[in-house]
């Protein structure tokens, strides 16, 4: 909602000469599981035949009614011929220190309030704004290694399947594609693999995904020994995967390890 206050003593109706400002859109420029770069874009309509510079600008950005960013700097705006944009860059870690995104939701509410100030020929004009909308609440899925299974033993290599438990905190499903992975047994890199489509994890659920990979027989001896002795094996997973989110595809790096049971 936008209103204006004309700070003059003149009683004439000069509204036709006063610039107006309208909130246009919230635009996401860059987004990953660590940060977000956004623009809050306003449209400025100047009915005067000459340009009217923006002299004052104040803003207060809140998420879930908690103020997280505020300032007063018209020089910090990106100005176009008829638009001005407030660029905002936030680290998700700092956001979640202030707010708590509820499990099963994709967005949290934002509020953006403040004023634009113009010094016109008819006097100073201040236009206040108070906007609300949805702000992306992107959270990296929680991943935990599960069991390691031997699928088959060939003459020169052993085919394994590594289970990972993926907890999706969002309301929408997350899809996992184009994974490249490397695996270590007892601190030694032994195998790698690629999976084009791991499937989806529905919102507010935990699902087990299976990662296949092959290991040269000689490098798999630790796993085979663990099976024979009933011991656990130290396994480390280093992987990169593309995650389809409610806000588009986002890259995710996985670096997890644990002492796992090995089964046939």
User: Could you read off the pLDDT tens digit of each residue along the chain, which spans 264 residues?
Assistant: 344 444 444 444 455 567 778 899 989 999 999 999 999 999 888 776 556 677 888 999 999 999 999 998 777 666 655 888 899 999 998 888 888 888 999 999 999 999 988 887 777 888 899 999 999 999 999 999 999 999 998 888 889 999 999 999 999 999 999 999 999 998 888 988 899 999 999 999 999 999 999 999 888 887 778 777 888 889 999 999 999 999 999 999 999 999 998 888
CA–CA distance, 54 with 162 (Å, rounded to integer): 59
Extended strands (E) in 82-122:
83-91, 107-120
Residue 239 in tokens: 């992987």
Supply the DSSP symbol for 141. P
What is the DSSP code string of 143-188? EEEEEEEEEEE-SSEEEEEEEEEEEE-SSS-EEEEEEEEEEEETTE
Closest CA to 237 of 219, 216, 213: 213
What three-state secondary structure class fits 1?
A: coil
Q: Kindly state whether residues 12 and 90 are assigned to the same domain.
A: yes
Q: Kindly state whether residues 7 and 117 are assigned to the same domain.
A: yes
Q: Kindly state whether residues 118 and 146 are assigned to the same domain.
A: no
Choose the final residue of a domain: 136, 155, 189.
136
Choose the final residue of a domain: 86, 109, 136.
136
Encode burial over 113-128: b for 16+ CB neighbours within 10 A, e otherwise.
Answer: bbbbbbebeeeebbbb
Q: Kindly state whether residues 97 and 157 are assigned to the same domain.
A: no
Q: Kindly state whether residues 224 and 147 are assigned to the same domain.
A: yes
As for how many domains the chain has, the answer is 2
- Using alpha carbons, list the distances in angstroms from residue 153 to 187, 201, 216, 218: 22, 30, 10, 12
φ/ψ (deg, to 5) at 199: 105, -175
Domain membership of residue 244 as a residue range: 142-263
CATH code of residue 73:
2.60.40.1820
Where are the alpha helices (H) located in 129-264, listed in sequence order? 221-229
Q: Kindly state whether residues 64 and 152 are assigned to the same domain.
A: no
**Residues 43 and 131 sit within 8 Å (Cβ to Cβ):** no
**Residues 212 and 161 sit within 8 Å (Cβ to Cβ):** yes
The pTM score is 0.82
Q: What angle do CA 223, 224, 230 make, to 5 degrees?
A: 85
**Residues 183 and 192 sit within 8 Å (Cβ to Cβ):** yes
Q: Cα Rg for the chain, rounded, in angstroms?
A: 27
Choose the final residue of a domain: 71, 103, 136.
136
Q: Kindly state whether residues 83 and 171 are assigned to the same domain.
A: no
Q: Kindly state whether residues 127 and 177 are assigned to the same domain.
A: no
**Residues 141 and 175 sit within 8 Å (Cβ to Cβ):** no
Q: Kindly state whether residues 107 and 153 are assigned to the same domain.
A: no
Q: Kindly state whether residues 209 and 230 are assigned to the same domain.
A: yes
Strands 262-263 and 142-153: parallel
Q: Kindly state whether residues 131 and 148 are assigned to the same domain.
A: no
């Amino acid at each position: 909602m936008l209103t204006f206050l004309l700070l003059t003593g003149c009683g004439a109706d000069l509204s036709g000469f006063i610039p107006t400002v309208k909130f246009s859109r919230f635009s996401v420029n860059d987004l990953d599981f660590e940060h977000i770069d956004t623009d809050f874009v306003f449209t400025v309509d100047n009915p005067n035949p000459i340009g009217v510079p923006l002299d004052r600008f104040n803003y207060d950005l809140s998420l879930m009614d908690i103020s997280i960013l505020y300032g007063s700097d018209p020089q910090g705006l990106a100005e176009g011929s008829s638009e001005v944009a407030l660029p905002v860059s936030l680290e998700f870690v700092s956001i979640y220190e202030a707010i708590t995104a509820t499990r099963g939701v994709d967005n949290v509410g934002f509020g953006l309030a403040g004023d634009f100030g113009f010094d016109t020929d008819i006097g100073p004009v201040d236009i206040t704004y108070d906007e609300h909308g949805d702000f992306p609440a992107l959270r990296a899925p929680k991943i935990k290694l599960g069991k390691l299974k031997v699928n088959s033993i060939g003459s020169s290599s052993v085919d394994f399947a590594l289970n990972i438990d993926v907890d999706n905190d969002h309301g929408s499903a997350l899809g996992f594609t184009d994974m490249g992975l490397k695996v270590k047994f007892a601190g030694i890199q032994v195998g790698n693999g690629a999976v084009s489509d791991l499937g989806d994890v529905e919102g507010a659920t935990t699902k087990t995904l299976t990662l296949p990979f092959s290991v040269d027989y000689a490098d798999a001896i630790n796993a085979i020994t663990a099976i024979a002795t009933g011991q656990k094996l130290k396994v480390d997973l280093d992987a990169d995967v593309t995650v389809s989110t409610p806000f588009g595809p986002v890259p995710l790096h996985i670096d997890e390890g644990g002492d796992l049971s090995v089964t046939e």
